[in-house]
Structure 1
Amino acid sequence: MANSCKDRESAEGEIVSELHPAFAEFDPENTEIYLDGYNVVVETNGLPNHKTVYWGLGHELYQAEPNVQLTPSIIPNFNGAATLRVAANPEIASSTTSTSLGAIGIAISGAYIFNDQEGNGPLGQAASSLDYTGGHIGPGQYHYHLEPKAWTNDDENLVGIMADGFFLYGRKCHATGDHPTDLDESGGHSTFTQHSPDIEYHYHIENELYLNQYYLLFAGRYQGTPSRIN
């Protein structure tokens, strides 16, 4: 798969000419990203691009993690492909929206972002099944609940895009080089980022410990209008 800037006319005949520069961070082998009028479309195969025990013994990306209590599935046993269509220029909504179980965002690795719940209960009950980068499988999708240390660990790196079209970054802010102190209830604020000199709203992984050892990816509510990932 490859990320491109294919211009496609919308019903209104309006064209957004360029993808946001942050989309260049997404793995082109696992995602295809293009413009469709006012919208950006993110297609993913749902697979992570890094090592994890959930690839299964014998896979080139398999990594032994003896302390992980594995869920029943391994990555090669499912088709996790899905598509997210969001506004190319998302806006803050008049009211916030709660997240739901299932995918709430797509990470730059190609895999999914989930919230702080697991099976209608708190994540803590499933924490033992999470791999070193805060991910596991269930049901049918490899996904992250925690700071994905495979590529971001207390830094400003891009994590992915949420279902409302806003980007999610690591615990630090590019504008200050430190942990932001002005985040709203969803872990978001408006500053420039490494991907844009313009002031724009985005989320961060909040620098608050969960169960005294983890950093949740997204525990808040959407500030924009979410779309389904399907």
Structure 2
Amino acid sequence: MPAYAEPFALIALSAFCAIALSACGSGSSVSSEAEADSDGTVSGEVTATLHNAYQWFGANVTVALDGDTVVIEATGRPDHTSPYWNPNNASGLYVAPDPNVTTVSHMSPGYIEDYNNLFTLRAPASPTRAASSSATSLGPVGIAVSGAPIFNDQEGPNVNLEIGVIQGFDSNGAHTGPQTYHYHLEPKAISNDDEALVGVIADGFFLYGRQCYSTPGTYPTDLDASGGHTSVTQHSQGEAEYHYHIMNEFYLGAYYLLFPEDYQGTPSSISN
């Protein structure tokens, strides 16, 4: 497995011709792929394009277009500070727990550096709504722009977050375990009461902050049960598209859940 801060390679999808795209404001690796024949000629014309939003994923995420599928790979390690980094601060990202947010005795065991992961999501380049929604399960339900996975509102089978773990979350609504650092709540290092891109959910639809780009400074009022609606985003190049938001509704009177509801598209599994 790759070490933190070292570039990691995409698992070979097939022989391909890669065209690197510049990542505006981002260190992510973004490419488009078409299959190459043994004589070097390119066949299998790419019919999809890589969504502009993927350019804003960070350096711990690699994104590639494989035909009509987007392949997203992430190290599972965030690119921001947290008290879950090792206090020896070899990462340069350790911060002491904020006593107003985190109860040290409730922090999960394990430092971010203890785990070597490579989360992989193969999602449709042009996702569509499914005929019916489907429930999320335990484990990763999405990948954040930081490189860490997004989890739902369950800590275990039928175990809600308030049962002994939420007090150990850092200021990004995250903690470690099982074998990875992950978010359950609004990650303030990524989105803090704004319209910022948070990540991509396993059905291929993007997740944004609580506010709506289409109506600046306001919260969307037309969200469905999953926090989704159709409108223009800062990355949709003027076209309205379906996407999710962190819903502006309190959880336990103080928090905002990232993605507690059902998928509205057809989800793919996120392997590790």
Matches within 5 A, 1:158-197: 158-177=197-216, 178-196=218-236, 197=238
Q: Does 1:76 align with 2:102?
A: no
Task: Name the CA distance, whole Å, in 2 between partners of 1:18 and 1:124.
Answer: 41
Matches within 5 A, 1:1-230: 1=7, 2-9=28-35, 13-16=44-47, 18-27=49-58, 29-59=59-89, 60-65=92-97, 66=99, 67-68=102-103, 69-120=106-157, 121-125=159-163, 126-177=165-216, 178-196=218-236, 197-230=238-271
What is the CA-CA distance between 1:7 and the residue it aligns to?
1.8
Task: Give the fraction of aligned pairs with identical amino acids, expressed as a percent.
Answer: 52
Task: Name the CA distance, whole Å, in 2 between partners of 1:35 and 1:171.
Answer: 29
What is the CA-CA distance between 1:14 and the residue it aligns to?
4.3
Residue by residue over 1:28-67, the C-alpha shift from the partner in whole angstroms, topping out at 9 and shown as x without a partner, is: x211101000100001111100000000201211110053
Task: Name the CA distance, whole Å, in 1 between partners of 2:212 and 2:155.
Answer: 28
What is the CA-CA distance between 1:219 and the residue it aligns to?
1.2
**How large is the RMSD of aligned CA atoms in angstroms?**
1.5
Q: Which amino acid aligns with 2:160?
A: P
Secondary structure of 2:162's counterpart equals: helix
**More relative contact order, 1 or 2 (CA 8 Å, 6+ apart):** 1
Bigger mean CA offset, 67-76 vs 139-148:
67-76
Normalized against structure 2, the TM-score is what? 0.81
What is the CA-CA distance between 1:4 and the residue it aligns to?
1.9
1:5·1:18 contact (CA, 8 Å) conserved in 2? no
1:7·1:17 contact (CA, 8 Å) conserved in 2? no
Task: Name the CA distance, whole Å, in 1 between partners of 2:203 and 2:45.
Answer: 21
Bigger mean CA offset, 181-190 vs 71-80:
71-80
What is the CA-CA distance between 1:17 and the residue it aligns to?
5.1
What is the CA-CA distance between 1:124 and the residue it aligns to?
1.0
1:16·1:35 contact (CA, 8 Å) conserved in 2? no
What is the CA-CA distance between 1:131 and the residue it aligns to?
0.4
1:41·1:85 contact (CA, 8 Å) conserved in 2? yes
Q: Which amino acid aligns with 2:202?
A: A
2:34·2:44 contact (CA, 8 Å) conserved in 1? no
Equivalent pairs counted in the alignment come to 228
Secondary structure of 2:166's counterpart equals: helix
Which structure would you say has the larger Rg? 2
Secondary structure of 1:193's counterpart equals: coil
Normalized against structure 1, the TM-score is what? 0.95
Bigger mean CA offset, 116-125 vs 157-166:
116-125
Residue by residue over 1:95-116, the C-alpha shift from the partner in whole angstroms, topping out at 9 and shown as x without a partner, is: 1010000000000000010000
User: Runs of 5+ in structure 2 lacking a partner?
Assistant: 1-6, 8-27, 37-42
Q: Which amino acid aligns with 2:161?
A: L
Task: Name the CA distance, whole Å, in 1 between partners of 2:32 and 2:221.
Answer: 38
Secondary structure of 2:29's counterpart equals: coil
Q: Which amino acid aligns with 1:130?
A: F
What is the CA-CA distance between 1:16 and the residue it aligns to?
3.6
What is the CA-CA distance between 1:80 and the residue it aligns to?
2.1
Task: Name the CA distance, whole Å, in 2 between partners of 1:4 and 1:200.
Answer: 22
Task: Name the CA distance, whole Å, in 2 between partners of 1:16 and 1:58.
Answer: 48
Displaced runs of 4 or more, over 3 A? none
